[in-house]
Chain A
């Protein structure tokens, strides 16, 4: 664990001058972002604007082309960054859940504690059961991921990430792959997490969730943060034309 001298006010995420290019395609064009401990930040923007790429840069699943990132007390872009240690402190939830298909639900949640933290089996499984109960999954410990509904799988995925006791959680469109009637159960787990004070960076198209839970909304377009502020401002009264037309399209898809 890194020292947290100035834990009170030091931001848990600090991104400076972040650029990301895939070949000739510059997807992120200079991102500066700070997230305070306990803050919930929702990231919105049109498809292809670079939301996932930005999120994946935070835990270095994508390597930035330029710029510096510190997250959860780790210098992610430094010359001797220990990414494996850093990622233990940064949970990630994917659009398609990505549960380990060869493992039971219980093992999905317990495996990282056992193999990375080297926690004993009994202890890891007890913690896994507690987390599964927290996300509302009970009596499915022995099931395979494929036997669960999408909403259940995503809640297991959240429990799996929480098992490493992260200081920061990244969500990449956690409800986009779900049937509409299953979206609520996942969002309510996330709402619970936010209420407990978890720092969260969430890519989402769920505007109602952003409005209710986010402390701040970022609107990303063309690889830059075009607009940001409290949800009441950004979502109801956007200052830029780009944000206005995006929101209009999201909120009124048919006209």
Chain B
């Protein structure tokens, strides 16, 4: 404790007292802000905009179609992302330089472009450049590719990091047993790498769930509409914001469990 006469008064506080004071000030500020907001906000109006039970109830059961479509779009894009991303990751770590160049270029391009732009390219650019092209599954195919391309770049980077995290000794053991390079990758490296990247891949799934809200730009029908578009339509029809709240809650119903799962898996990874 500094008790020299020249020290200014506040310097004489112990670190503990100082921490307490700082904490007290922070609480005071938070309480003040909340109090001001509560006083200023027009609660009746907010409740009217967001909590109209009859409007919320009217969204059901139709909302389930769009909820289901959100899941389908997410899963399709993720599957496409994996099917393309894993080979790209393998090319990234290949000893054959042209593979590495291609994979690096691919990742840089699709990680650098906005998902919305890629979706436009797939939905409108490609059909215009190649008239007569038909995506398998119509809008579902367009979404799988349009969102999956961006996703595949992120997945490739995660998987590459996973591959590089597999200890070298595992590869040497496999090679010393007579496994070829490819055999070693398939039997030893990839299974271990994919285990390592389950948490980042789960996060990618969360990102995709949200990015599926971009699908509306492709022009969707009632049957192919996803959650955000549905909520926005309801917003327009009812001139009320309750549908946004319902839609948001339904997103959280998907993303929060995924986030929790990712965190659980991360901790499980620590234990190993």
**What residues make up the interface of A, taking CB atoms closer than 8 Å to B?**
59, 61, 84-88, 90-92, 94, 96, 98-102, 111-112, 115-116, 146, 157, 160-161, 164
Query: Is the Cβ of B170 less than 8 Å from the Cβ of A98?
Result: yes
Q: When chains A and B are docked, how far (Å) is the Cα of A90 from the Cα of B172?
A: 13
Give the residues from 182 to 198 in chain B that come closer than 8 angstroms, CB to CB, to chain A.
183, 187-188, 191-192, 195
The listed residue (A84, A98, A99, A161) touching B172 by CB distance below 8 A is A98
Q: Which 7 A-B pairs have the closest CB atoms?
A: A88-B178, A98-B169, A98-B173, A92-B176, A112-B177, A87-B178, A116-B178
**What residues make up the interface of B, taking CB atoms closer than 8 Å to A?**
167, 169-170, 172-180, 183, 187-188, 191-192, 195, 272
A202 nearest CB across to chain B (Å): 15
SS of B interface (majority): helix
Report B-chain residues with C-beta under 8 Å of the C-beta of A84: 178-180
Query: Is the Cβ of A100 less than 8 Å from the Cβ of B188?
Result: yes
Q: Contacts A102-B192, A115-B187; is A61 near B178 (CB within 8 Å)? A: no
A201 nearest CB across to chain B (Å): 13
Q: When chains A and B are docked, how far (Å) is the Cα of A85 from the Cα of B187?
A: 17
**CB-nearest residue of chain A to B272:** A146
The listed residue (B170, B178, B272) touching A112 by CB distance below 8 A is B178
Report B-chain residues with C-beta under 8 Å of the C-beta of A87: 175-178
Report B-chain residues with C-beta under 8 Å of the C-beta of A146: 272
Query: Is the Cβ of B175 less than 8 Å from the Cβ of A61?
Result: yes
Q: When chains A and B are docked, how far (Å) is the Cα of A161 from the Cα of B174?
A: 10
Report A-chain residues with C-beta under 8 Å of the C-beta of B192: 100-102
Q: Contacts A100-B188, A115-B183, A146-B272; is A164 near B177 (CB within 8 Å)? A: yes
Q: Contacts A102-B191, A146-B272; is A59 near B170 (CB within 8 Å)? A: no
B191 nearest CB across to chain A (Å): 5
Query: Is the Cβ of B187 less than 8 Å from the Cβ of A111?
Result: yes
Q: When chains A and B are docked, how far (Å) is the Cα of A100 from the Cα of B190?
A: 12
**CB-nearest residue of chain B to A100:** B188
Could you say which of B172, B176, B188, B272 has the most chain A C-beta atoms within 10 Å of its C-beta? B176
Query: Is the Cβ of A116 less than 8 Å from the Cβ of B179?
Result: yes
Q: When chains A and B are docked, how far (Å) is the Cα of A115 from the Cα of B184?
A: 10
**CB-nearest residue of chain A to B186:** A115
Report A-chain residues with C-beta under 8 Å of the C-beta of B180: 84
Q: When chains A and B are docked, how far (Å) is the Cα of A252 from the Cα of B148?
A: 65
Report A-chain residues with C-beta under 8 Å of the C-beta of B183: 115-116
Report A-chain residues with C-beta under 8 Å of the C-beta of B177: 87-88, 111-112, 116, 160-161, 164
A21 nearest CB across to chain B (Å): 20
Query: Is the Cβ of A100 less than 8 Å from the Cβ of B272?
Result: no
Query: Is the Cβ of A90 less than 8 Å from the Cβ of B187?
Result: no
Report B-chain residues with C-beta under 8 Å of the C-beta of A96: 169
**CB-nearest residue of chain B to A115:** B187
Query: Is the Cβ of A85 less than 8 Å from the Cβ of B191?
Result: no
Query: Is the Cβ of A101 less than 8 Å from the Cβ of B170?
Result: yes
Could you say which of A85, A99, A102, A146 has the most chain B C-beta atoms within 10 Å of its C-beta? A102
Q: Contacts A100-B188, A115-B187; is A61 near B176 (CB within 8 Å)? A: yes
